[in-house]
Amino acid sequence: GESVGLHLPTLSVQEGDNSIINCAYSNSASDYFIWYKQESGKGPQFIIDIRSNMDKRQGQRVTVLLNKTVKHLSLQIAATQPGDSAVYFCAENGAGANNLFFGTGTRLTVIP
């Protein structure tokens, strides 16, 4: 029979605008969260991480927000550029485990 795969949520933004990508995680015991960027045909690239004792962390042009009450994580990209076009995944470490569990991902398309 025909198989139906998951379809990535998509987000399109104009170049120069800010982007917000959201992620809901499942394990309330997870204490470490990471955002990865994945370009087509490549492995995931680390963007920014945050521990559960924080609710906000900033990097260069990126900010991660963590809301443990509703188990929600977001990635904000300021002044989005065409090079930011990729699929973005959130990942959690599942309560101190070494391995990571990935969210479904969001495809970001930046319109020049």
Partner 1 sequence: GAVVSQHPSRVICKSGTSVKIECRSLDFQATTMFWYRQFPKQSLMLMATSNEGSKATYEQGVEKDKFLINHASLTLSTLTVTSAHPEDSSFYICSAPGQYSTDTQYFGPGTRLTVL
* Least distance to partner 1, CB of residue 6, Å: 5
Chain centre to alpha carbon of residue 21: 6
> What is the amino acid identity at position 83?
G
Binder among 25, 30, 34, 47 for partner 1 (CB under 8 A): 34
- What's the alpha-carbon Rg for the chain, to the nearest Å? 14
Site for partner 1 in 73-92 (CB under 8 A): 89
By CB under 8 A, tell whether 53 contacts partner 1.
no
Q: How far is the C-alpha of 76 from the C-alpha of 38, rounded, in Å? A: 16
The binding site for partner 1 (CB under 8 A) comprises 5-8, 32, 34, 36, 41-46, 49, 89, 93, 98-105
